[in-house]
Amino acid sequence: MQAIEVSHLVKKFGPLTAVNDISFSVAVGETFGFLGPNGAGKTTTIRMLTGISPPTSGKATIFGHDIVRETVAARQSMGIVSETSNVYTDLTGWQNMMLAAQLYRIGRRERDRNATELLKRFELYERRRDRVHGYSKGMMRRLTIAMGLVNSPRLLFLDEPTSGLDVESNLIIRDVIADLIQGGVTVFLTTHNIEEANILCERVAIIDKGLIAAIDAPEQLKKTIQSVQSIEVSFDGSSPTRLDELRQLPMVNEARKEGDKFKLFTEDPAEVIDGVTAYAHTHHTRVLSITTLGPSLEDVFIKLTGLQRSGGGVTAID
Amino acid sequence: MGLQDRLSRELVAAWAIAKKDVAIYYLRPGTIVGGVLFPLFMFLAFTAGKLGTAAALIPGLIGITTLFSASSIEPVSIPIERRTATFDRLLAAPISLNALVLGESLSGLLYSVAIALVVFVTALLILMTPIASIFPILVGIFLSSLCFATMGTLFAAYPTESPGDIISMVNVVRFPLIFISGVFIPLATLPSIGQTIAYFSPLTYANDLIQGGYYGKTTFNPLMDVGMLVVFILIFQFVANWLYKRFNE
């Protein structure tokens, strides 16, 4: 039995087809990433998988329970952390935890124990009696995730868990996610942070315009676009014209500045390294560091979704 | 999962939702204006208009109190929760839509019963309003509160994030009900079209039951009043359930 089994799922809103005949499965204990640009159909898919919105056609099961016909049973084994920190700001942290637990009909002793453990784990226990409107953004996010875990779910839907958070909250959340994965919890993750998906996920699906463009392990996906390799180079000193000059080098398809480094995309790294060395010599500068990089998951994402790079990276990812 | 377990689960969740509403929304300005001040001002307007003594108008005041108080929580709470996405948390919980609708309505019921009882006890102690039988009054308060709370939940199904949108729609129904339900203007004095419309108002039966408790006589059989209120509650619950499902698609 799979944790999630999706078969020919379609969702239409009038004439618009938001999700168009997608099929995939997620194994028990697997960490599955779901990536796609804005409006690709990610949120619609999650709403169907969590039983909030019924599909137009097709079928989805959660641990064998049909999400449309056995919604309550399917939801009982899942935890849902939505993109918005949907906590009750007029209630205290503790009251929020209790409400979430009561919705799953968890007995008083168990919900007290779970809430205490989770609030401590997310470093919110000392503030449990404070109303949530006094919490920081990161604290609200941590509370949202703690509420999603109060029923000890076997499957966790995580929608942008670390988006826009401070370093402390990010570290705590990533630690907890790593522990959940170690503990055998199935995780369905959507994230803006492609590197996060690359590190955490065993497989990722890339959805675009309602269709699944690719599903595979991150490293397998990278192999499909070996032609997109890059050289990362830094020079001694700076020059306002350097980026344009590097773009003119032979075999450089694209160049962009990333902090104090330049990233040059190419199909022939050796040729570009020769070009960079010659460039440094003729411009009386020194190469401080140079590294050859394979394609990143972000490169795969861009190639499959047809997005354009802008400045420091891809921003139009939902 | 057995039926008993399922029912128990649903009731626990409904009660949790109601408690959350009590803690958050009872003292919101929109709730107080709609649930307490509106019926009070209506009562004062009718008293000042010399349609009857204050004591004589108490049954009507209790009726409109249940109408306004019970239907004032969900039109405020649900749009706000849509805006903050907390309503999605309830929609994604392992409970049926029936339990969600019931839970939302329970908070309106408790709010309305509490305020109506304050009116009832105050009238009893200060105005010495005579009572024929307390039982129909209490039943009338409970059933009409549940009926109008469910009506408020039904209107709140409209997918908006602005409480004002829902309150405006509810008022289109609430205000005419006062005039066609025999609350301050006896049914017998209404034109025949008004009397016909009155049969379709739950406030007519609630008011009749409460007046029966005060005066010892009713226009309809009290059992019919109870039956009609139960029918309205079931209709509102069913339609609300359908609308939440429909708008959620």
Nearest C-alpha in A relative to B23: A91
Chain A residues near residue B15 by CB distance under 8 angstroms: 102
pLDDT along chain B (249 residues), means of 10: 80 92 88 80 73 75 92 93 93 90 92 92 86 94 96 95 94 90 83 89 95 91 96 96 87
Shortest Cα distance, chain A CAs vs residue B78, angstroms: 13
Residue A61 identity: T
Shortest Cα distance, chain A CAs vs residue B49, angstroms: 42
Cβ neighbours, 10 Å, residue A126: 10
Residue A311 is predicted with a pLDDT of 45
- Coil, helix or strand at residue B217: coil
Q: Which residues contact A261 (CB under 8 A, 6 or more apart)?
A: A232, A233, A234, A289
Q: Which of A52, A98, A147 sits opposite B248 (nearest CB)?
A: A52
Residue A309 is predicted with a pLDDT of 56
Phi, psi of A241, deg, nearest 5: -100, 0
Would the CB atoms of B8 and A105 count as touching at under 8 Å? yes
Would the CB atoms of B92 and A80 count as touching at under 8 Å? yes
Residue B202 is predicted with a pLDDT of 96
Best residue of A105, A143, A149 to probe chain B, by most B CBs closer than 10 Å: A105
- CA A11 to mean position of chain CA atoms: 22
Would the CB atoms of A91 and B1 count as touching at under 8 Å? no
Residue that has been written with the tokens 């137009």 in this structure: A56
Best residue of B78, B88, B91 to probe chain A, by most A CBs closer than 10 Å: B88
Q: Where are the domains of chain B?
A: 3-248
Structure tokens at B188: 């017998």
Cβ atoms of residues A171 and A179 within 8 Å: no
Check CB contact of B1 with chain A, cutoff 8 Å. Answer: yes
Residue that has been written with the tokens 């709403």 in this structure: A47
Best residue of B20, B96, B106, B244 to probe chain A, by most A CBs closer than 10 Å: B20
Q: Which of A52, A72, A95 sits opposite B95 (nearest CB)?
A: A72
Cβ atoms of residues A93 and A128 within 8 Å: yes
Type and span of the H or E element at B146: helix B134-155
Would the CB atoms of A105 and B12 count as touching at under 8 Å? yes
Among B90, B35, B101, B66, smallest CA distance to B178 is for B66
What's the start-to-end Cα distance of chain A, in Å?
A: 30
- CA B56 to mean position of chain CA atoms: 22
Q: Where are the domains of chain A?
A: 4-219, 229-293
Give A229-293's CATH code, choosing from 3.30.160, 3.30.70, 3.10.180, 1.10.10. Answer: 3.30.70
* CB-defined contacts A:B, below 8 A: 71
Cβ neighbours, 10 Å, residue A203: 18
Half-sphere exposure of B51 (CA within 13 A, CB side): 17
List the pLDDT tens digit at each of the 318 positions of chain A. 899 999 999 999 989 999 999 999 999 999 999 988 878 888 899 999 999 999 999 999 999 999 999 999 999 999 999 888 999 999 999 999 999 999 998 999 999 999 999 999 999 999 999 999 999 999 999 999 999 999 999 999 998 888 777 888 888 888 888 899 999 999 999 877 777 888 889 999 988 889 998 898 888 877 776 667 889 999 998 888 899 999 999 989 889 898 899 999 888 888 999 999 999 999 999 999 998 887 777 777 777 776 655 544 433 333
Residue A96's DSSP bridge partners are none
- Which overall architecture, per CATH, does domain A4-219 show? 3-Layer(aba) Sandwich (3.40)
Would the CB atoms of B23 and A90 count as touching at under 8 Å? yes
d(CA B101, CA B52): 38
Would the CB atoms of B249 and A53 count as touching at under 8 Å? yes
